């Protein structure tokens, strides 16, 4: 199988390294980490360290058609890179979307009153939808946690599951083939009949704990066990759960179970907190903003989410933009 992985951050590099070590033909598309990764990708974990040597390029036009294109960039970067994917697409190429939060394709290949709807917070001006045929998309939910302490080095913290699924719920050969490749690489890769429901299970926690952690610098367990912060997280999750239910999704996890799960994770920094510490833009719109946009469309009040989102947006601006004066 030929894989192109667009976005060689911690998750993309981790995925690419493991697939390469399993014998797959992998090309990482990198930017700032390009030179370091050409010398190899080091993956460190509790089991030790391994080094992989996938191909690395900064120009997707040099790769040619592949079987699977993994999109592992942050959601806010998709509008910029979507028009560059074309040279990697052959007649049967599948695009595996592995972003956090609500994906831009959520209402594609879906029946109901909102079928084909586009959220401006995710796909401003429709750039992504225009560049990517929804028939090519395989949904993917990323569960591993990893960091990149230095260029070319991935620290795998926990998790080994990538859940995948067709947007229409069917089980296809391209999903089965992808699952086999990921399992061979050492991952768990279940094919899910309702990828959107699984998405909401992860999102309920992310949309609350990520921005709160960015604002407070607190870990998961600190938020979950703090009386006031924990109550805010629960209220935000309840608001998001109301949106999911209005869309016909029954999330099979209670809010208490989600809080208990966050407490069990322990002193783990969320991806949004890591981005704040690194001075990187926050993935706010896909994780929080899109849920708010849906709440507005569905006339669901979301006061807690709105306040936390506004504060996190201001933090994002202050963190990533140079001070004036």
Distance CA 277, CA 185 (A): 31
Classify burial at 246, counting beta carbons within 10 Å of its beta carbon; exposed 0-12, middle 13-18, buried 19 or more. Answer: middle
The CA-CA-CA angle for residues 243, 244, 249, to 5°, reads 150
Tens of pLDDT, residues 82-132: 999 999 999 999 999 999 999 999 999 988 888 889 999 899 999 999 999
pLDDT score for 141: 97
182: alpha, beta or left, given left = phi > 0 and alpha = psi -120 to 50? alpha
Note the pLDDT of residue 170. Answer: 95
Domain boundaries in the chain?
2-193, 196-314
Arch. (CATH architecture) of 196-314: Orthogonal Bundle (1.10)
Contacts of 77 (CB under 8 A, 6+ apart): 7
256: which DSSP letter? H
Residue 81 has a pLDDT of 93
Return the sign of the alpha-carbon dihedral for residues 184, 188, 193, 195.
negative
- pLDDT tens series, the chain, 325 aa: 999 999 999 999 999 999 999 999 999 998 877 888 888 999 999 999 999 999 999 999 999 999 999 999 999 899 999 999 999 999 999 999 999 999 999 999 988 888 889 999 899 999 999 999 999 999 999 999 898 999 899 999 889 999 999 999 999 999 999 999 999 999 999 999 999 999 999 999 999 999 999 999 999 999 999 999 999 999 999 999 999 999 999 999 899 998 998 888 878 889 899 999 989 999 999 999 999 999 999 999 999 999 999 999 999 998 877 655 4
CA 95 to chain centre: 14
Helices in the chain by DSSP H: which ranges?
10-21, 34-38, 78-81, 127-131, 173-184, 195-216, 220-225, 227-246, 255-265, 271-278, 284, 290-297, 303-320
- Tokens for 17, please give them: 């390294």
Phi first, then psi: what are they for 29, rounded to 5°?
Answer: -105, 110
User: DSSP readout, 188-211?
Assistant: B--B-S-HHHHHHHHHHHHHHHHH
Token output for 305: 């989410």
Tokens of 148: 């990149």
Per-residue confidence (pLDDT) for residue 158, from 0 to 100: 87
pTM: 0.92
CATH superfamily of the 2-193 domain: NAD(P)-binding Rossmann-like Domain (3.40.50.720)
276/149 Cα distance (integer angstroms) = 14
Look at the alpha carbons of 140, 97, 106, 180 in this order and tell me if their dihedral is positive or negative.
negative
> For residue 323, how many other CB atoms are within 10 A of its CB?
5
Interatomic CA distance for residues 154 and 10, integer angstroms: 6
CA-based torsion, 219, 192, 74, 290: positive or negative: negative
What is the Cα–Cα distance from 113 to 12, expressed in whole angstroms? Answer: 35
Residues taking part in catalysis: 202
Q: Tell me, rounded to whole angstroms, the distance of Cα 145 from its chain centroid.
A: 11
pLDDT (0 to 100) of residue 325: 46
What CA–CA distance (Å, rounded) separates 71 from 59? 15
How far the first Cα of the chain sits from its last, in Å, is 53
């Amino acid at each position: 199988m030929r894989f192109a992985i667009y976005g060689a951050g911690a998750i993309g590099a981790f995925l690419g390294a493991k697939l390469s070590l399993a014998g797959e033909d992998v090309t990482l598309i990198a930017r700032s980490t390009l030179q370091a990764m050409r010398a190899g990708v080091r993956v460190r974990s509790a089991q030790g360290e391994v080094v992989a040597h996938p191909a690395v390029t900064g120009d997707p036009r040099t790769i040619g058609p592949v079987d699977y294109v993994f999109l592992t960039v942050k959601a806010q970067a998709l509008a910029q890179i979507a028009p560059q994917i074309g040279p990697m697409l052959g007649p049967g190429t599948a695009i595996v979307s592995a972003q956090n939060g609500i994906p831009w394709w959520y209402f594609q290949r879906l029946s109901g009153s909102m079928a084909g709807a586009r959220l401006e917070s995710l796909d401003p001006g429709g750039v992504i939808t225009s560049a990517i045929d929804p028939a090519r998309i395989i949904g993917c939910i990323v569960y591993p946690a990893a960091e990149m302490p230095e260029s070319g080095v991935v620290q795998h913290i926990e998790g080994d599951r990538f859940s995948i699924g067709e947007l229409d719920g069917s089980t296809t050969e391209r999903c089965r083939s992808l699952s086999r490749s990921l399992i061979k690489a050492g991952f768990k890769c279940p094919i899910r009949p309702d990828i959107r429901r699984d998405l909401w299970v992860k999102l309920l926690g992310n949309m609350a704990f990520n921005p709160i952690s960015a604002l407070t610098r607190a870990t998961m367990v600190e938020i979950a066990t703090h009386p006031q912060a924990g109550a805010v997280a629960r209220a935000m999750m309840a608001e998001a759960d109301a949106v999911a239910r209005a869309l016909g999704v029954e999330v099979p996890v209670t809010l208490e179970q989600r809080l208990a799960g966050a407490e069990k994770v322990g002193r783990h920094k969320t991806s949004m907190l890591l981005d704040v510490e690194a001075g990187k833009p926050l993935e706010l719109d896909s994780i929080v903003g899109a849920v708010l946009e849906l709440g507005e469309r569905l006339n669901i009040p979301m006061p807690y989410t709105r306040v936390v989102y506004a504060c996190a947006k201001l933090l994002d601006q202050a963190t990533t933009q140079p001070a004036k004066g």
